[in-house]
């Protein structure tokens, strides 16, 4: 088994399963990506998946499936997907070692591509993004 692009907490897995369970029979999981936008330059995206893209990476935990779009892989390597619910908000969280800053409202981030040489030096196998 190769290096996982991302991991997810039990809370995130439970939330993904709840979302998919309430979305109808075609829902298979969620898809995480990034797009340009916001005051810090990039935003995380989360979409429902009914037909997985064979080029996406897949992570799973306890039946929860999260696909990662290929253009986001280098920005999401080592990221942990979480879920938090507080009095004021609830939503997915991203603990991302590639994040260099975030805007004040927390809606957008500045990301740098992961350093593959540093990952290799730590003993992590090279990511196989061509499935």
Other CB atoms within 10 Å distance of the CB of residue 88: 5
Report how far residue 41's alpha carbon sits from residue 75's, in angstroms, rounded to the nearest whole number.
Answer: 13
Rounded Cα distance between 82 and 40, Å, is 21
**101-104: long-range contacts at Cβ-Cβ below 8 A with a sequence spacing of 24 or more?**
101/40, 102/40, 103/38, 103/39, 103/40, 104/39
- Indicate the domain borders of the chain: 6-121
Would you place residue 123 in the very low, low, confident or very high pLDDT band (cuts 50, 70, 90)? low
Q: What is the mean pLDDT of the chain?
A: 82
| Model pTM score | 0.77
> What CATH code is assigned to 6-121?
2.60.300.12
């Amino acid at each position: 088994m190769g290096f996982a692009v991302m991991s997810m907490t039990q809370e995130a897995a439970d939330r993904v399963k709840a979302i998919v369970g309430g979305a109808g029979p075609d829902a298979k999981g969620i898809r995480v990506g990034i797009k340009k936008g916001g005051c810090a330059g990039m935003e995380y995206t989360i979409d429902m998946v009914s037909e997985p893209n064979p080029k996406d990476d897949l992570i799973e935990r306890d039946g929860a499936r999260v696909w990662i779009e290929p253009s986001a892989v280098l920005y999401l390597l080592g990221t942990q997907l979480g879920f938090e619910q507080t009095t004021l908000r609830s939503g997915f969280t991203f603990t991302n070692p590639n994040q260099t800053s975030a805007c004040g409202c927390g809606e957008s981030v500045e990301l740098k591509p992961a350093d593959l040489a540093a990952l290799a030096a730590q003993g992590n196998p090279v990511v196989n993004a061509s499935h």
